[in-house]
Amino acid sequence: MQTRRNTKKQGTSLRLVGALVALFRANANFTQHSLSERLCIHEETIASIEQGRRRLLPDMADELDRVLETGGALAVAVEHLPEREKYPVWAEAYMAHEKEAIALSWYENQVVPGLLQTEGYARATFQTTVPPLTEDERELRVAARLERQVVLHRNPPVRVSFVISEAALISHLGGQEVMREQLRHLRDCADLDGVSIQAMPLNSETHAGLSGPFILLETPEYQQFAYTETQLGSQLISDSDGVSTLAGKYGMLRTQALNLKETQSLLDGLLGET
């Protein structure tokens, strides 16, 4: 479990990177407003990064280095942030494998899977954490979750399958606007190369996933892992029997869920686009 000492380190690292952004911006004779216009982003995004309230993502670091002519300093700073500052300690092993995975299969029954979440939806999930996170902790977690989503855009594409309970799709987590944006994002992700999204309908009479969510992944070395989380920790499963059991469950879930076209029609209906 993350300690308050680690939290302080996280805030310090974010503020250090933010201070570098502010210094390079000023040296390049940009205001926050003029830089935001140059990058076509909100001024508040620049302010949040400089104040250490929002994590600087790698692609934005590259763009800032180019515009501010920093010689790659910001990209290097972001690359060398300690991994334990991005995720809970108990999730680090899984995150390391996820980055390099060539195939992922993800079943989720309460929320939209993290790799498919919008910024607003991700923030809403972390706002429900008990005990509550500090603002620095929350923004760090949100940014790290968004950063992980680069795996969906790799070339060649990763094979990624999601089975999501309909309950997660009709919830009001974060409010109506946040949820509508999330549904639109899911519909867009359904068209990505290598990505398949299936909904498990609430009226299904059989269900292989009643024991809870889990993830299966395959590494470039063709190692097979399974991953599960609990209220206070997680388990990365590498033994073949455990992985095989969950792989069998996932295969059943895919047959019990709506197919790809039915799921897209469900999303269109929830968006009022049928």
- For 232, counting Cβ atoms within 10 Å of its Cβ (0-12 exposed, 13-18 middle, 19+ buried), the class is exposed
Predicted pLDDT of residue 58:
86
Predicted pLDDT of residue 6:
44
- The class that CATH gives domain 88-270 is alpha beta
Instruction: Identify the three-state secondary structure at position 213.
Output: coil
Give the DSSP per-residue string, 93-106.
HHHHHHHH-SEEEE
Predicted pLDDT of residue 263:
98
pTM of the model: 0.72
Strand-pair partners of 196: 161
207 CA to centre of own chain: 26
4-83 and 88-270: identical CATH topology: no
Q: What angle do CA 235, 190, 168 make, to 5 degrees?
A: 55
Predicted pLDDT of residue 138:
87
**Domain residue limits, the chain:** 4-83, 88-270
pLDDT tens digit sequence for 34-81: 999 999 988 888 988 898 777 788 888 999 999 999 999 999 998 887
Distance CA 175, CA 178 (A): 6
Nearest CA-CA partner of 15 in 73, 54, 64: 54
Predicted pLDDT of residue 91:
74
Mean pLDDT by 10 residues, the chain (274 residues): 41 81 96 94 87 81 95 91 60 86 97 97 95 85 90 94 98 96 97 97 94 96 93 88 97 97 96 80
Predicted pLDDT of residue 2:
38
- The class that CATH gives domain 4-83 is mainly alpha
Neighbours of 181 (CB within 10 A): 15
